[in-house]
Amino acid sequence: MKKVLIKAIKSKYFILFCLISALGLHLAWIYLVRTQPAVDCLWFFQRATGIAEGKGYIWDNQPTAFWPIGYPAFLGLLFYIFGPSLWAAKIANIFLYLGIIYLSYYLSKALFQSEITGRVTIFILTINPVNIAYSSLVASEMLYSFLILLGTTLLVETNSTPQKNFFYSVISGTVFGLCVLVKPQTILIPSIFFIVLHFKKICWQKIKSFLALFFVFNMAILIPIIPWTIRNYQIFGKFVFISTNSGHNLLIGNNPQATGRWMKIYNIFPPLVDFSKIQNETEKDTATRKRAIEFIKQNPNRFLELIPKKIKYLFASETDVKNWNKAGLTNNNKIVPKWLDYYFQLLHYYYRVLLGAIIISLAFLLYLRSDNKIIFPSLGLWFALYITLVSVVFFGMSRFHFPLMPFLIMYVAFSLVQLSNIEIKTE
């Protein structure tokens, strides 16, 4: 059985097989689980429809920047071409995911210098039931993960000739700029990735060229961001970094009734902020941020107590994809089929096993690295640390770890290759 599996993985048709399999699994899912937009998905769908109809990015007939523009703009472009269609959004998710798994294959192959590691990575991602379930949601996770992987893959290519370095730095930076428009908390990730990927090659003789390339890369990040910043300044009369909900999100995770995960702060009594006297989005953002910072300063012990809970809600389960799918069915007055409950139970156990495999793989690889037996790219760990720190400051939700999983699965794949002693040569 092992020989058959290894032969299949080495086959020149294996990558194509994974892509076709992923396409089939995701198409079957969106056909069987016909969700309607609910919760955040409904907001994205409505804003995208407004963009496609030429009304701009509006909420209650007023220009908005409450949520980042990236995903609604992407959907708006789709809806402008194909009309406001759930099928267009879901089919787009599938093609984005095909891009995700192929880029994960390419990136893991490059980082670990192992063709087989890339192939095992794409196989694990192909059969991942969590990712399959996300394809029916009008949510930003697929687009964001695709852009993060694309930007990182292009960034890896900056380790080539000087001419290509400049080209890939500009393109990669621009892609990361689009990532920031989808999720503003991305802003520091590109610089971290750039330094991590170039760290071993930095020397005093080449410091000028490194700094020049680093500057070009960061300037390219601003290319997609600047037009949106100008738009927001014209509307709100002040600088707005991508969106006006950072204060709102900070207050969700830092208030007297905070639990470490998302909650409705408008229902808290006594009110944390008197929203009735504030109409402008930027004023709400400032007021909520001020109130959250006050809470942290006045309750440092409570802030520290919430940290383990925030990390738990970030990593412990996959509740968001389950809840949003079920909300999308009940919102359409559909009864959630029994088989779907079984599927989400399977999904839950699969994720727990995968999480355990990631922890064991990291321990195993760090042990091998201590004896200098293997290369150990640290990029995925830096990404995990960054996402964890963001959740520690704000709050935790399981969907926040979605873009991180391909990077961590690469470690599992590399561990399996090390344990199996599979030769790199493919057929």
Query: Each residue of 66-99: pLDDT tens digit?
Result: 999 999 999 999 999 999 999 999 999 999 999 9
DSSP H or E stretch at residue 339: helix 338-370
Q: Which of 33-37, 147-151, 368-372 has the lowest mean pLDDT?
A: 368-372
Q: Which amino acid is at 215?
A: F
More confident residue, 426 or 362: 362
pLDDT in tens, 275-334: 777 778 898 999 999 999 999 999 999 999 999 999 999 999 999 999 999 988 876 666
For a pLDDT cut of 70, what percent of the chain falls above it?
A: 94
pLDDT in tens, 334-354: 677 889 999 999 999 999 999
- pLDDT band, very low/low/confident/very high, at 1 (cuts 50, 70, 90): low
Q: How far apart are CA 160 and CA 111, in angstroms?
A: 14
Q: What is the mean pLDDT of the chain?
A: 90
Rounded to the nearest 10 degrees, how much is the dihedral formed by the CA atoms of 271, 276, 278, 281? 80
Q: How far apart are CA 310 and CA 149, in angstroms?
A: 25
Q: What is the DSSP letter of 67?
A: S
- pLDDT band, very low/low/confident/very high, at 393 (cuts 50, 70, 90): very high
- pLDDT band, very low/low/confident/very high, at 60 (cuts 50, 70, 90): confident
CB 280 within 8 A of CB 236: yes
What's residue 427's pLDDT?
A: 43
What's residue 272's pLDDT?
A: 77
State the average pLDDT over residues 50-68.
93
Strand partners, 58: 63
Q: How far apart are CA 193 and CA 404, in angstroms?
A: 13
Q: Which of 133-147, 163-177, 203-217, 403-417 has the lowest mean pLDDT?
A: 203-217
Angle (CA) 253-391-406 rounded to 5° is: 150
Q: What is the DSSP letter of 238?
A: S
What's residue 162's pLDDT?
A: 64
pLDDT in tens, 154-176: 999 876 666 678 889 999 999 99
- pLDDT band, very low/low/confident/very high, at 7 (cuts 50, 70, 90): confident
State the average pLDDT over residues 109-124.
94
- pLDDT band, very low/low/confident/very high, at 423 (cuts 50, 70, 90): low
More confident residue, 29 or 7: 29
pLDDT in tens, 227-241: 999 999 999 989 999
What's residue 246's pLDDT?
A: 94
Q: How far apart are CA 158 and CA 164, in angstroms?
A: 7
State the average pLDDT over residues 251-280.
84
**Residue partners of 313: CB distance under 8 A and separation at least 6:** 260, 261, 391, 395, 396, 397, 398
- pLDDT band, very low/low/confident/very high, at 6 (cuts 50, 70, 90): confident
For a pLDDT cut of 90, what percent of the chain falls above it?
A: 73
More confident residue, 330 or 247: 247
| pTM of the entire predicted model | 0.93
Burial label for 10, CB within 10 Å (0-12, 13-18, 19+), is: middle
Number of separate helices (H) and strands (E) present in the chain: 18, 2
